Structure 1
Amino acid sequence: MSKNSYLKGAAILSVGAILAKFLGIFFKIPLAHIVGDVGLGLYAYPYPIYNFFLAISVIGLPVAISKMVSERAALGNYRESHRVFKIALVLLIIIGGVSSLLLYSLRNVIISVLNWHPDTYYALIGISFAPFFVSLMSAFRGYFQGLQVMTPTAVSQIIESIGRVIGGLGLSVLLVNLYGIPQAAGGASFGATAGAMAGSAFLVFLYISKRKNIQRRIDRSPKGKTESTQMILKQLLAISIPACISATVTSLMGIIDTSMVPARLAQAGFTMNESAALFGQMTQKAQTLVNVPLTLSTALSASLVPAISEVVALRDRKELQSRVELGIRSVLLIALPAAVGLSLLSGPIIRLLFGDSDGGNILAILSYSVIFVMLTATLQSILQGLNQMIIPIKNLLIGAMVKVIANYILVAIPRINIQGAAIGSIIAYAVAAFLNYRSVVKYTKTKTHIGQTVIKPVIAVCIMGVVVSIVYYSIYELLGNSIATLLSIGLGGIVYFFVLLLIGGITSQEMEVIPGGNRLTPILKKIGFLRREKK
């Protein structure tokens, strides 16, 4: 696969993922108006359990399918690549079916054991059928990606999100009028199933429409040795299990909150409705906004693995250290202003999007987790590029244990309540990021230039923060919250960027991370604003 093909494929997948993410965000805004904070909490409770089921069942298998299909297709053996797909499809249908059956059958047990609000029953039913269709989608996505055709995955992600929005919001509006908020939250949860059904239908239709071309390739393939079904299954599992373990550990953070927060809030004296409302504010308002900058982190992390692997293979230690520092610096350039901006304007942003400021105090704290989540993900990708797969998993497990302790102590304190879970997330990811960084330094001998990597971005962020606060509170009374918030965000971004340029806090390499940065670079170099990196 050529570098350009890889970049094109990565770009297609990134666009699909980002559009899907934004559709998901805009789903939450009308949903909050339909079901309120309590309804958001009922809707939110099952998702960490659902994600955990996906982590142990289907995450990792699409990667394994694409890898095995790609390897065989590269040798012109489309017959065997198609056999891999068919075997994986059957496996995923079985896994998805069992996962859906377990979620549906154990719904009352889950609610009882985790001390959830009894009305979460409907949300669990709504989401329980989604794993089956997600599994079906995963098989087809893996197959098309293995053939280096990335568009079907990107389009199916968008269709899935549209299906979730239309199905989830449509049902929630219908059910809130007919029955009430608990049933409406269940209808919103069914949106995940509706979206997965829509995405699956698109991929199945596309596969059928391409069946003649696929069969033609199969017929032209040389008739060599046929791999046994058992051998293919072994390979699929060998490749997918490490990714499944990593995803399962990552999903533990959500499991910790959904399993601990209701009980600890009850200990603090909150009713079930109050607990559900607070949980909805944290997960569906604050966390939804925090996820926006984290989308960029996913793209950065994905590009780091091959970049690090390449220089490791070439045994170029100097270039390895350069890329490690560039990765860390790039993520801090994005994470620092995102965290501070979300924190300073937490109330105004929540009010702009959701119509009230409930949850603003949670976002003010949780926003700082952006820095450590992005650092953890970036450093994890560097370690993966160094073929150190287990270390980041261990470090994240240590972070998860820290979160358990923080949640247990802090959430039960009435004055802190749900904010304790946000503080727990910051501490947990800070621990994981520190441990990952220590491991990266150990294996690469990289020395971080504190001035360039940390101090200059912090100076720019501090000035940005002052400007944002002054602008917002100066024009709020005159222009209202919406315009004041949008102007503050825009001016804050401009100030941050130009302060960085003035103090030499950004290089032409780092400009490539910014959308449109390649076009701005020659202009900024010409007028002397952009520092040239040292050779």
Structure 2
Amino acid sequence: MILMADTKLVRGTMLLTSATMISRFLGLIYIFPFTILVGQQGNALYQYGYLPYQLLLSLATMGVPMAISKFVSKYNALDDYHTGQRLFRSGLVFMTATGFIAFLVLFLMAPVIAGWVLPSNGDPSGNSHSDVVFTIRMVSIALLIIPGMAVLRGYFQGFQSMGPTAVSQVIEQVARILFILATAFIVLEVFGGSLGLAVGLATFGAFIGGLSSLFVLLYFWRQRKAGIQQQISESKTDHQLSLTSMYKELIVYALPLSFVGLAIPLFQVIDMFTFNDAMAAYGANAGEAETAFGVFSRTTHALIMIPVAIATAMAVNLIPAITEANTNRDVEKMHGLITKTFQIILFFTIPAAFGLAILATPAFASLYGLQDIGIGSMVLSYYAPAAILFSIFAVTAAMLQGMNRQKYAVAGLCIGLFIKLGLNYGLIASFGALGGVSATIIGYTAAIGFNVWAVGKFADYRFTQIGRQAAMIMGFTAVMAIAVYIVREGGAVIFDTSGQAGFVTILIFGVLIGMFVYLILAIRTGLAEKVIGNRFAFMRKR
């Protein structure tokens, strides 16, 4: 019975991880055609609505799915299904109420937020105040249903049933993306409508996606309700916890998960509220500032999040094992898992980040076209190394959570945010969009420095254990970078770069050559085998 339960849990976890990766991948890929339709100013307008929505959604849900899952699973294991059901019922009411409050706040505050976001000099070359208000209000409607839906997902997961969450996540993303792209195309290309109308209606896709996901979850609920009710009726225990006690326990689970998960959105919100005025001080008009913001916060950000998503998905799978080793006080095992996690992160993100920096021009041109290629390739080349920082912060924060040191992960994030907030305006006013990149990198570096110190202190871990592998990765990346640079420069001479096709060809050759050089070096020296197993052992140099 225990073996069957473990098998079910592993299978469910793999299913949910796969669904999360698919959803993230789709969420990144659709930005390419969307940018072709609406341009960088359209992306900036989309961010004006989506970033406040994302922030309020996270505050309204507060990491609820995972927290409810942990709570329900705990009491189910104690053969007390009544307590989980009481939390589920009250949670639906409470989270629906918080979603409604969040909706009202965002809907009513839209004019104020628009005033904060747009340049104070009233430059008409950018998006209008009314367009920003419309966009914010359209996306705010999704807050009416998604927080309550999070409770249903968490309840299913508490029964180790990951299928409903996995399927609903993918359906939500597919429905959202189809609506966004179809709406933007119809408004702009079929009816010749305005950019503000197209982007504003596109953000309503968050509600359409949420509604589609809710229908999926209700279908699963109908299928499984009888079985859940039977388990509840057969419960042998009822702890009779008060609602106050249940919510206190839930908050302990949820708040650290929620706050640390907000790291990137919080950094981006700081940019949103400071970027345009700082760019005006730099000498850019509103249109130029919004183009730069669209490039920085959405299009280049989407590219650098690809290696981050891959690396963190592989590394974070080791976090439950770190939690178990910490609980069992198995220091040697925990040290080995921490080493393995850092090896995976560095092995994938360092070459990907520096490769992307070198191939910034062909990458941006291939995926977004030649319009705005100057600002796009410049920002991407400087911003790409941040992928390493995003990945390391995510796993160090997860490690601290696994060691029950969540408050240190939160403290590290606060340090980074304060530095970002303090530096952002001045750096952007002095260096333009690259100032925003620099403030993000400095802020994340400080947060990581604190997290690394905390991991070393509480795990009694010495980071010299990964020193040799890190040096090898940096050395192989340097060789790879030289090869990719030669391909890029040679390709610019050989292929016609007056059109998109030439850049696509350079990008393909650059990626293939870079991967070949790096992997051959890593395999032949045994580094790849050490990090990701013996899949390539037959290619090692004897």
Aligned to 2:483: 467
Give the letter aligned to residue 491 of structure 1. Answer: I
Distance 1:248 1:371, change over 3 A: closer
Between the aligned partners of 2:192 and 2:223, the Cα distance in structure 1 is: 41
C-alpha displacement at 1:149, in angstroms?
0.9
Indicate if the aligned counterparts of 1:164 and 1:191 stay in contact, CA closer than 8 A.
yes
Aligned to 1:352: 366
Aligned to 1:417: 432
Aligned to 2:352: 338
Secondary structure of the 1:359 match is helix
Secondary structure of the 1:339 match is helix
**Superposition TM-score, scaled by structure 2 size:** 0.90
Secondary structure of the 1:234 match is helix
Between the aligned partners of 2:507 and 2:259, the Cα distance in structure 1 is: 41
Matched, 1:129 2:148: no
Aligned to 1:515: none
Between the aligned partners of 1:391 and 1:226, the Cα distance in structure 2 is: 33
C-alpha displacement at 1:3, in angstroms?
5.4
C-alpha displacement at 1:147, in angstroms?
0.7
C-alpha displacement at 1:367, in angstroms?
0.6
Give the letter aligned to residue 189 of structure 1. Answer: T
Distance 1:184 1:245, change over 3 A: same
Indicate if the aligned counterparts of 1:304 and 1:385 stay in contact, CA closer than 8 A.
no
C-alpha displacement at 1:426, in angstroms?
1.2
Give the letter aligned to residue 515 of structure 2. Answer: G
Question: Which residue, out of 495, 499, 502, partners 1:480?
Answer: 502
Indicate if the aligned counterparts of 1:141 and 1:152 stay in contact, CA closer than 8 A.
yes
Between the aligned partners of 2:353 and 2:300, the Cα distance in structure 1 is: 12
C-alpha displacement at 1:348, in angstroms?
0.7
Distance 1:527 1:33, change over 3 A: closer
Question: Which residue, out of 22, 25, 30, partners 1:19?
Answer: 22
Indicate if the aligned counterparts of 1:304 and 1:381 stay in contact, CA closer than 8 A.
no
Question: Which residue, out of 396, 420, 425, partners 1:403?
Answer: 420
Aligned to 1:387: 404
> Could you report, residue by residue, the CA deviation over 1:55-91 in whole angstroms, capped at 9, with x for unpaired residues?
2210311122111211222233333322221111111
Matched, 1:433 2:448: yes
Give the letter aligned to residue 483 of structure 1. Answer: T
Between the aligned partners of 1:274 and 1:504, the Cα distance in structure 2 is: 49
Between the aligned partners of 2:229 and 2:466, the Cα distance in structure 1 is: 57
Between the aligned partners of 1:158 and 1:88, the Cα distance in structure 2 is: 24
Aligned to 2:386: 369
Give the letter aligned to residue 452 of structure 2. Answer: Y
Distance 1:326 1:26, change over 3 A: closer
C-alpha displacement at 1:323, in angstroms?
2.0
Indicate if the aligned counterparts of 2:75 and 2:83 stay in contact, CA closer than 8 A.
yes
Between the aligned partners of 1:120 and 1:276, the Cα distance in structure 2 is: 12
Aligned to 1:511: 532
Aligned to 1:289: 303
C-alpha displacement at 1:308, in angstroms?
1.7
C-alpha displacement at 1:404, in angstroms?
2.0
Question: Which residue, out of 212, 227, 230, partners 2:241?
Answer: 227
Aligned to 1:498: 520
Between the aligned partners of 2:537 and 2:315, the Cα distance in structure 1 is: 28
Give the letter aligned to residue 441 of structure 2. Answer: I
Aligned to 1:162: 174
* Matched length: 518
Give the letter aligned to residue 376 of structure 2. Answer: G
Residue pairs, 1:297-336, within 5 angstroms = 297-336=311-350
Between the aligned partners of 1:3 and 1:230, the Cα distance in structure 2 is: 32
C-alpha displacement at 1:449, in angstroms?
3.8
Indicate if the aligned counterparts of 1:59 and 1:247 stay in contact, CA closer than 8 A.
no
Question: Which residue, out of 79, 82, 89, partners 1:79?
Answer: 82
Residue pairs, 1:45-84, within 5 angstroms = 45-84=48-87
Between the aligned partners of 1:381 and 1:301, the Cα distance in structure 2 is: 10
C-alpha displacement at 1:451, in angstroms?
4.6
Q: Which runs of 5+ in 2 are unaligned?
A: 120-126, 496-500
Indicate if the aligned counterparts of 1:325 and 1:446 stay in contact, CA closer than 8 A.
no
Distance 1:446 1:377, change over 3 A: same
Identical amino acids, percent of aligned pairs: 27
Q: Which runs of 5+ in 1 are unaligned?
A: 513-520, 531-535
- CA-atom RMSD in angstroms: 2.2
Secondary structure of the 1:378 match is helix
Between the aligned partners of 1:320 and 1:42, the Cα distance in structure 2 is: 45
Give the letter aligned to residue 413 of structure 2. Answer: L
Between the aligned partners of 2:238 and 2:444, the Cα distance in structure 1 is: 50
Aligned to 1:518: none
> Could you report, residue by residue, the CA deviation over 1:18-42 in whole angstroms, capped at 9, with x for unpaired residues?
1111211222112112111111111
> Could you report, residue by residue, the CA deviation over 1:372-399 in whole angstroms, capped at 9, with x for unpaired residues?
1111112222222222111121122111
C-alpha displacement at 1:343, in angstroms?
0.5
Give the letter aligned to residue 92 of structure 1. Answer: M
Indicate if the aligned counterparts of 2:48 and 2:117 stay in contact, CA closer than 8 A.
no
Distance 1:361 1:140, change over 3 A: same
Secondary structure of the 2:241 match is coil
**Superposition TM-score, scaled by structure 1 size:** 0.91
Matched, 1:269 2:283: yes
C-alpha displacement at 1:344, in angstroms?
0.7
Aligned to 2:114: 111
Between the aligned partners of 1:471 and 1:396, the Cα distance in structure 2 is: 39
C-alpha displacement at 1:362, in angstroms?
0.8
